[in-house]
Amino acid sequence: MQDTNYSLQQLLDFTVQIFKAMGCPDADAQTAAIVLLQADLRGVDSHGVARLSGYVRLWEAKRVNATPDIKVIHETPSTAVVDGDSGLGLVVAPFAMQLAIEKARNVGTGWVSVQNSNHYGIAAAHAMKALEHDMVGISMTNASPLVAPTFSTAKMLGTNPICVAAPAGEQPAFVADLATTTAANGKLEILQRKNEEAPLGWVQDSEGHPATDANILKKGGALLPLGGDREHGSHKGYALGAVVDIFSALLSGANYAPWVPPFPAYVPMPAKQPGKGIGHFFGAMRVDAFRTVEAYKHDMDDWIEGFRKAATVKGQDKVLIPGDPEREAEVERRASGIPLLPAVADDLKALGEKMGVPF
């Protein structure tokens, strides 16, 4: 079966209607849909509408509050902690990122840690909001425990992504958005669907041996931190994932480590809940809190051009700048539509029937 392309507008309208059918206020439904669709636009198919029915199942399981009272519960001139009141991360995160931007406007930088939230789509959707204000944006979140730290067989951390978005001048912005694992879980799901093996270094089996079975997580296996094994620096990927957990949950009072609430609604909540919901962390730094925007952008363009002109290995025609592939996907998908796997389209159709929204 072939993928079918759908227009951005069509998927946006449908997603807004689904969130409204869950009881989300109009503005929240719009916000959430735009954030979710950023993933499909940028080619991160695992994190977009393919997950819409997953969000609905969390709401059905009463783990998502469609009408949250999102509150600042602690703050200083450059920081805040936000309580997301169990709302969709797709709604809570934009609130928190906006707050970071406002604090940066006032005192140079803003840093917001979030408790009591849910999954927030792709990290880049939030960090990139800073770009419009000539600010550097930072976004990270903890997530369902799937990753074993170096030397362990236990799934103690999520894939805990970090995004840093830095504006440029004539050049498009630098946008690094990366899971702190060798491969994101979405990449593994693609292999599962294709019935293919994973490269060594992505996963381990239940005893911690190197494995290539893409379904190993269902058999007690785990994703590996960036680096893969100790000899190749997995302790660094583990440390980075841990930093994301500390900033997102230890600074906010969210759940951490293996006690982060799982995204799949059928997975029971951990018996221990040391905090509230899942945690995120956002930052915004005004470029002109450091030097003039003009001088910075001049150098940033020069930096990007230097990498674009760097000598390549045989068989590669260019060195990529972080964010290039996603930006190219967005250009193409705005023009030609967003391709959905038949299974995803069927799932959305079924979801629409259940929620009374035609797909």
Using CA atoms, how far apart are residues 280 and 162, in angstroms rounded to an integer?
10
Coil, strand or helix: which one is 164? strand
Using CA atoms, how far apart are residues 309 and 176, in angstroms rounded to an integer?
19
Q: Which two tokens stand for residue 299?
A: 């150098």
154 binds a second copy (CB under 8 A): yes
Q: Which is nearer to a second copy, 84 or 227 (CB)?
A: 227
313 binds a second copy (CB under 8 A): yes
169 binds a second copy (CB under 8 A): no
Residues 33, 90, 127, 156: which binds a second copy (CB under 8 A)? 156
Report whether 35 contacts 93 (CB < 8 A).
yes
How many whole angstroms from its chain centre is CA 174? 17
Residues 27, 271, 310, 335: which binds a second copy (CB under 8 A)? 310
Residues 227, 262, 277, 337: which binds a second copy (CB under 8 A)? 227
Kindly indicate which of the ranges 16-24, 51-59, 309-317, 345-353 contains the residues binding a second copy, using the contact rule CB under 8 A.
Answer: 309-317
- Listed in sequence order, the residues at least 6 apart from 83 whose beta carbon sits closer than 8 Å to its beta carbon are 70, 71, 72, 73, 114, 115, 116, 276
Using CA atoms, how far apart are residues 311 and 309, in angstroms rounded to an integer?
6
Residue with tokens 């629409």: 352
Q: Which is nearer to a second copy, 6 or 282 (CB)?
A: 282
Q: Which two tokens stand for residue 103?
A: 């604090």
Query: β-strands 109-117, 79-83: how paired?
Result: parallel
Least Cβ distance, residue 191 to a second copy (angstroms): 12
208 binds a second copy (CB under 8 A): yes
Q: Which is nearer to a second copy, 52 or 257 (CB)?
A: 257
Nearest residue to 149 (alpha-carbon basis) of 233, 234, 259, 250: 234
30 binds a second copy (CB under 8 A): no
219 binds a second copy (CB under 8 A): no
Residues 238-257 that bind a second copy (CB under 8 A): 238-240, 242-243, 245-247, 249-253, 256-257
Nearest residue to 255 (alpha-carbon basis) of 179, 184, 161, 157: 157
Q: Which is nearer to a second copy, 172 or 258 (CB)?
A: 258
Residues 49-88 that bind a second copy (CB under 8 A): 74, 76-79, 81
Nearest residue to 198 (alpha-carbon basis) of 218, 183, 220, 179: 183
Residues 68, 89, 121, 228: which binds a second copy (CB under 8 A)? 228
Residues 231, 268, 271, 356: which binds a second copy (CB under 8 A)? 231
Residues 123-152 that bind a second copy (CB under 8 A): 136, 149-152
Which string of x and - marks every residue 264-303 that binds a second copy (by CB under 8 A)? ----------xx---------xxx-xxx---xx--xx-xx
190 binds a second copy (CB under 8 A): no
Using CA atoms, how far apart are residues 321 and 355, in angstroms rounded to an integer?
41
